[in-house]
């Protein structure tokens, strides 16, 4: 079956079967298997090429409306594709992580911008960064200070964003900025789309421990943007951000679970090598079992959340459970890898060893990004359990 | 038995910080000589060794001082030899703490004891990998032959484990200091991070883990002259220090948020050093596993600490 067959839009099982057979039988995909990259920029660019192949064959266009270059269908199509990619030993292309975070909000709140730019994003010809965090606004996002000021038909953006993933190579940034009074907190925020090549945008890459430039600091010095690059209502940025966070917290969890499952398989192979050699250290068999069980559990919880989102139901504070489970999987899995690989993890020279080290460091961000572990627990305590709040000023 | 009083210790600690901060051309041995370090060691070996390695850990310095401790315990006549540490054997024949330029011979422990091999015959590569800032070298290729030397590797290894425990404690203390300072200064939601209980508890727990490791280390020193007990207690002390770095560093990283994970701040360096030091002379996982196995095969659960001993 080819990736454009109309019944794929309604028959999810047929879609899953079709994707799987495409991914496992297409010789052109070999160049994305077991690749190790020198830099994050190389990786993003090369994996964007995989988006192009999936797009041309139709498969990755399912799940997106026709107005943005898609073929229709829904979020479950996309979630299926990511899962099948990981199962087939292929990467979930890096640019899709941000696409899943930013794309749905754009489709919903700025259909004109989505129609203008998402087709190229789906083809892997461009990708974006998310400019929320700032030096003084991390967990407390509503404290952010980057400003957008109206000037006739245009807006002028000034300020500084920090920790922008993929910032080094991103073509555009979706930024949360202040349009209200300095003390307006979440009421005076707006979401804007800024082109990277607009005058006044400067990007300084930031290396995550291990040395890869995963992040960036982005400076906006009187950057002029047209009035139609506001996503949603002026001063309505917080509700756009909250809508977006639902996807960030759940689809990202599903993508991570898919990758984690294939990493578990790799660890089983590494453990078999150990068992044949020096033996598996005490307790690690049990931890392998725990990690697998946690991955399976994350899939179960995340699938429920993704299905609810796909059905258009709002996902509330309970989605913080997904994030707690995700953090447990990421930390548990990569700590286990570190211990199983032992000295090889610390000092091995193989590209595979380097990859495990880089991924170990990246796994630490599971308790930080998109709301830290502490913040997720506070959300559950405040909004689900309705415990009295810790005296926040 | 410790003899240096609190004031003397503070002075020594400060001088040691200067020694490790000194980036002049004079080598470390010359700087320690200037300080009259040998005298301090003679007066109070426990305090001297522990403080020296704590400060080395704090400074993230990568030196060969550990060789002196290990060789001194093996046979002082061999001072000046390097040591091949048997950890990391899955990536080579072992590690050296630095390049061998100034060394003539390297001591290699094996199942039958220790042999001395010519340093020039070793093929080395920098350890690199997770801790890219250490001077450590991996021996690649086969080990050359060498002559047997006298000396008890088990005792030398115990002395080494006590020193590395102190170094790990130093790494952890510096990381905790950094985290305490950061969470005092940084504000979110109009409050210092350090006023949120979720943050406070993590740092308090880190402190407790470091103090536990320090107590286990001092217990190991009280039995350091007992050939049967010294290795047993040193192993536990090293295990406790190794697990402390795990407990502490994951928390000090967490409370820094993204800053703790990136090269914008120094926290990752402590994580990387803590991990390699944990592996040196046995990781905490390996050591407690060994202790468990020994207990199951007849080694008595010795009390190690006697309340009537070492009372000032
Ligand atoms: C790999 C990575 C990628 C990222 N990508 C992006 C991106 O693409 N775009 C973007 O905008 N941002 C991104 N971020 C930033 C991320 O969203 C922030 O790091 C996160 O919001 C936390 O903010 P912070 O780092 O300033 O930590 P802080 O807010 O300073 O928190 C530090 C510590 O204090 C704790 N803390 C803070 N407030 C409380 C509280 N009220 N109660 C209890 N504990 C509290 C936190 O849990 C944490 O442990 C990324 C971060 C990482 C690590």
A206 lines ligand 1 (CB under 6 A): no
pTM for this model (two decimals): 0.95
Which of B114, B149, B184 is the endpoint of a domain? B149
Could you say which of B92, B124, B149 is where a domain stops? B149
Distance A283 CA to ligand 1 centre (A): 33
Handedness of CA A364, A366, A372, A374 (dihedral sign): negative
Over residues A202-231, the mean pLDDT reads 97
Does residue B308 sit within a domain? no
Q: Which one of A94, A138, A359 would you pick to mutate in the ligand 1 pocket, going by the greatest count of ligand atoms within 8 A of its CB?
A: A138
Task: Decide if pLDDT at A69 tops 60.
Answer: yes
Residue B92 placed within a domain? yes
Q: What is the overall mean pLDDT for chain A?
A: 96
Burial B118-132 (b: 16+ CB within 10 A, else e): ebeebebeebbbbbe
pLDDT reading at A89 higher than 90:
yes
Smallest CA-to-CA distance from B119 within B98, B104, B139 is with B104
- Say if residue B106 is in the same domain as residue B238: no
Contacts by A144-151, CB closer than 8 A, 24 or more apart: A144/A176, A144/A177, A144/A178, A144/A189, A145/A178, A145/A182, A146/A175, A146/A176, A146/A177, A146/A178, A146/A220, A147/A177, A147/A178, A147/A179, A148/A177, A148/A178, A148/A179, A148/A190, A148/A192, A148/A225, A149/A179, A150/A179, A150/A227, A151/A224
The candidate with the shortest Cα–Cα distance to A117, out of A78, A47, A157, A69, is A69
The verdict on B205 and B253 lying in the same domain is: yes
- Asked if B286 reaches chain A (Cβ–Cβ under 8 Å), the answer is yes
Does any domain span residue B159? yes
pLDDT of residue A102: 98
Mutation to test the B interface, candidates A165, A347, A353, A371, most B Cβ within 10 Å:
A347
Count: domains in chain B: 3
What separation, in Å, do the N-terminal and C-terminal C-alpha atoms of chain A show? 59
Q: Measured between beta carbons, which residues in chain B are less than 8 angstroms from residue A210?
A: 268
Nearest residue on chain B to A367, judged by CA atoms?
B254
DSSP state of A74: -
Cα B270 to ligand 1 centre (Å): 20
Of the three residues B109, B129, B149, the one that is the final residue of a domain is B149
> How far does the centroid of ligand 1 lie from the alpha carbon of residue A319, in Å?
18
Rg (chain A; Cα; Å):
21
Q: Are residues B88 and B171 in the same domain?
A: no
Q: Please give the residue that has the higher pLDDT: either A281 or A119.
A: A119
Query: Residue A173 in contact with residue A126, Cβ under 8 Å?
Result: no
**Structural contact between residues B177 and B233, judged by C-beta atoms closer than 8 angstroms:** no
- Does some domain include residue B138? yes
Q: How far is A73 from chain B (nearest CA, A)?
A: 36
Q: Do B169 and B233 share a domain, yes or no?
A: yes
User: In the predicted model, is pLDDT for residue A292 greater than 50?
Assistant: yes
Q: Which atom of ligand 1 is nearest to the CA of A133?
A: 11
Domain check: are B63 and B100 in the same one? no
CATH of residue B256: 1.20.140.10
Distance (Å, whole) CA A309 – CA A235: 25
B188 in the same domain as B122? no
- Structural domain of B142: 78-149
A39 contacts A213 by C-beta, under 8 angstroms: yes
Answer yes or no: do B138 and B159 share one domain: no
Contact by Cβ (8 Å): A44, A169: yes
Query: Is there a single domain that holds both residue B88 and residue B29?
Result: no
User: What does the pLDDT read at residue A393?
Assistant: 46
Residue B303 included in any domain = no
B125 and B159, same domain (yes or no): no
The whole-number average pLDDT for the span A122-139 is 98
Residue A209 to residue A358: CA distance in whole angstroms: 8
A345 touches chain B (CB under 8 A): yes
Tell me the HSE value of A27 on the side-chain side, using a 13 A CA sphere: 0
**Which residue lies with its CA nearest to atom 26 of ligand 1?**
A138
Cross-chain CB nearest to A346 (options B130, B260, B289): B130
- Position in ligand 1 atom list of the atom nearest CA A140: 29
Residue of chain A whose alpha carbon sits nearest to that of B288: A282
- The best mutation among A100, A216, A256, A369 to test binding of ligand 1, ranked by most ligand atoms within 8 Å of the C-beta, falls on A369
Enumerate residues 136 to 165 of chain A having a beta carbon within 8 A of any beta carbon in chain B. 136, 138-140, 143, 162-163
Q: What is the DSSP letter of A389?
A: P
Which residues of chain A does B264 touch, with a Cβ-Cβ cutoff of 8 Å?
206
Nearest CA in chain A to B186: A136
Distance CA A159, CA B129 (A): 37
Question: How deeply is A185 buried, as exposed, middle or buried, from its count of CB atoms within 10 A (0-12, 13-18, 19+)?
Answer: middle
Poorest-confidence range of A162-176, A324-338, B37-51? Answer: B37-51
**Residue A7 binned pLDDT confidence (cut-offs 50, 70, 90):** very high
Q: What is the 8-class DSSP label of residue B141? A: S
Q: List, in sequence order, every residue forming a beta bridge with B149; answer none if it has no partner.
A: B114
Task: Show the tokens assigned to A88.
Answer: 């087939």
The two structure tokens encoding residue A324: 């707690």
Domain-located, residue B292: yes
User: Is the pLDDT score of A29 beyond 70?
Assistant: yes
pLDDT of residue A248: 87
Residue B197 has its nearest CB partner, among A346, A347, A390, at A390
A/B interface, count of CB pairs below 8 Å: 116
The answer to whether B88 and A347 are in contact (CB under 8 A) is yes
A30, A248, A290, A318: which is the annotated catalytic residue? A248
A136 lines ligand 1 (CB under 6 A): no
Given the CA of residue A129, which atom of ligand 1 is nearest to it? 8
- Please check whether residue B33 lies inside any domain of the structure: yes
Q: Please identify which residue in the block is written with the tokens 């991996």.
A: B138
Do residues B130 and B255 both lie within one domain? no
- Contact criterion met (CB < 8 Å) for B129 and A353: yes
- C-alpha of residue A169 to centroid of ligand 1, in Å: 22
B197 C-beta neighbours (distance < 10 Å), count: 10
Q: Does B86 touch chain A (CB under 8 A)?
A: no
CA distance B102 to A292: 50
Phi and psi, residue A312, nearest 5°: 80, 10
* Residue among A207, A209, A346 whose CB faces B279 most closely: A346
Whether residue B10 lies inside any domain: the answer is yes
Please give the pLDDT value at position B24: 72
Same domain, B175 and B144: no
- Say if residue A60's pLDDT is above 90: yes
pLDDT tens, per residue, chain B with 312 residues: 567 888 988 999 999 999 999 877 678 888 899 889 989 999 999 999 999 999 999 999 999 999 999 999 999 999 999 999 998 878 889 999 999 888 999 999 998 999 999 999 999 999 999 999 999 999 998 999 999 999 999 999 999 999 999 999 999 999 999 999 999 999 999 999 999 999 999 999 999 999 999 999 999 999 999 999 999 999 999 999 999 999 999 999 999 999 999 999 999 999 999 999 999 999 999 999 999 999 999 999 999 999 887 654
- The minimal CB distance from B190 to the residues A348, A365, A393 is found for A393
Helix, strand, or coil (residue B87):
coil
Is the separation of the CB atoms in A172 and A117 below 8 Å?
A: yes
| Structure tokens belonging to residue A349 | 């020279």
Q: What are phi and psi of B115, to 5 degrees?
A: -125, 160
B89 and B53 both lie in a single domain: no
A387 touches chain B (CB under 8 A): no
Number of the ligand 1 atom closest to the C-alpha atom of B256? 32
Q: Is A100 one of the catalytic residues?
A: no
Question: How far away, in angstroms, is A6 Cα from ligand 1 center?
Answer: 43
Half-sphere exposure of B4 (CA within 13 A, CB side): 21
Q: Which residue, among A229, A235, A243, A236, has the nearest Cα to A108 in the 3D structure? A: A243
Of the candidates B91, B199, B263, the beta carbon closest to that of A209 is on: B263
Note the pLDDT of residue B310.
63
A181 in Cβ contact with A190 (< 8 Å): no
The average pLDDT across A134-155 equals 97
Is B289 in CB contact (< 8 Å) with chain A?
Answer: yes
């Amino acid at each position: 079956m080819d990736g454009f067959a109309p019944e794929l839009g309604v028959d999810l099982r047929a879609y899953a079967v079709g994707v799987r057979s495409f991914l496992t039988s297409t010789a052109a995909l070999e160049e994305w298997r077991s690749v190790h990259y020198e830099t994050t920029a190389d990786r993003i660019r090369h994996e964007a090429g995989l988006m192009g192949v999936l797009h041309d064959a139709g498969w990755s266009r399912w799940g997106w409306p026709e107005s943005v270059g898609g073929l229709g269908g829904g979020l479950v199509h996309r979630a299926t594709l990511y899962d099948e990619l990981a199962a087939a030993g292929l990467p979930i292309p890096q640019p899709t992580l941000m696409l899943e975070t930013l794309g749905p909000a754009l489709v919903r709140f700025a259909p004109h911008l989505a129609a203008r730019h998402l087709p190229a994003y789906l083809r892997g010809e461009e990708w974006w960064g998310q400019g929320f965090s700032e030096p003084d606004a991390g967990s407390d996002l509503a404290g952010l200070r980057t400003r957008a000021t109206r000037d006739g038909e245009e807006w002028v953006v000034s300020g500084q964003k920090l920790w922008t993933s993929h910032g080094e190579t991103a073509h555009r940034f979706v930024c949360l900025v202040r349009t209200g009074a300095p003390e307006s907190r979440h009421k005076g925020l707006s979401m804007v789309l800024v082109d990277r090549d607009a005058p006044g945008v400067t990007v300084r890459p930031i290396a995550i421990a291990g040395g890869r430039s995963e992040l960036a600091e982005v400076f906006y010095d009187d950057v002029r943007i047209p009035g139609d690059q506001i996503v949603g209502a002026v001063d309505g940025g917080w509700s756009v951000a909250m809508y977006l966070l639902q996807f960030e917290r759940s689809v990202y969890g599903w993508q991570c679970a898919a990758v984690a499952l294939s990493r578990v398989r790799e660890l089983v192979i590494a453990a078999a090598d150990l068992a044949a050699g020096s033996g598996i250290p005490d307790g690690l068999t049990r931890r392998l079992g725990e990690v697998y069980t946690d991955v399976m559990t994350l899939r179960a919880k995340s699938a429920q959340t993704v299905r609810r989102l796909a059905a258009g139901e709002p996902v509330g504070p309970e989605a913080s459970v997904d994030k707690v489970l995700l953090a447990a999987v990421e930390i548990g899995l990569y700590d286990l890898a570190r211990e199983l690989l032992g000295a090889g993890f610390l000092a091995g020279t193989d590209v595979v060893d380097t990859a495990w080290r880089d991924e170990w460091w990246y796994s630490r961000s599971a308790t930080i990004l998109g709301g830290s572990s502490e913040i997720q627990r506070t959300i559950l305590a405040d909004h689900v359990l309705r415990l009295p709040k810790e005296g926040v000023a | 038995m410790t003899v240096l009083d609190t004031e003397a210790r503070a002075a020594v600690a400060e001088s040691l910080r200067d020694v490790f901060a000194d980036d002049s051309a004079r080598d470390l041995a010359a700087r320690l000589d200037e300080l009259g370090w040998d005298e301090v060691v003679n007066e109070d070996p426990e305090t001297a060794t522990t403080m020296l390695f704590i400060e080395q850990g704090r400074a993230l310095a990568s030196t060969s001082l550990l060789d002196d401790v290990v060789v001194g315990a093996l046979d002082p006549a061999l001072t000046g030899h390097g040591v091949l540490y048997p950890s990391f054997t899955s990536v080579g024949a072992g590690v050296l703490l630095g390049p061998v330029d100034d060394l003539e011979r390297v001591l290699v422990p094996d199942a039958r004891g220790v042999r001395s091999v010519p340093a020039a015959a070793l093929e080395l590569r920098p350890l690199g990998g997770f801790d890219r800032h250490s001077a450590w070298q991996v021996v690649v290729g086969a080990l050359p032959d060498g002559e047997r030397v006298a000396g008890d590797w088990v005792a030398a290894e115990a002395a080494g484990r006590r020193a590395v425990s102190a170094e790990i404690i130093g790494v952890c203390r510096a990381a905790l200091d950094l985290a305490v300072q950061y969470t005092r200064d940084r504000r979110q939601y109009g409050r210092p991070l350090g006023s949120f209980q979720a943050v406070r508890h993590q740092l308090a727990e880190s402190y407790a883990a470091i103090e536990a490791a320090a107590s286990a280390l001092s217990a190991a020193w009280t039995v350091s002259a007992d050939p049967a007990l010294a290795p047993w207690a040193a192993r536990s002390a090293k295990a406790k220090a190794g697990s402390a770095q795990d407990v502490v560093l994951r928390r000090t990283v967490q409370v820094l948020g993204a800053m703790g994970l990136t090269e914008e701040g120094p926290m990752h360096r402590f994580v990387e050093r803590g991990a390699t030091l944990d592996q040196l002379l046995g990781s905490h996982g390996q050591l407690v596993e060994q202790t468990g196995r020994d207990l199951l095969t007849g080694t008595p659960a010795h009390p190690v600490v006697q309340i009537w001993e070492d009372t000032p």
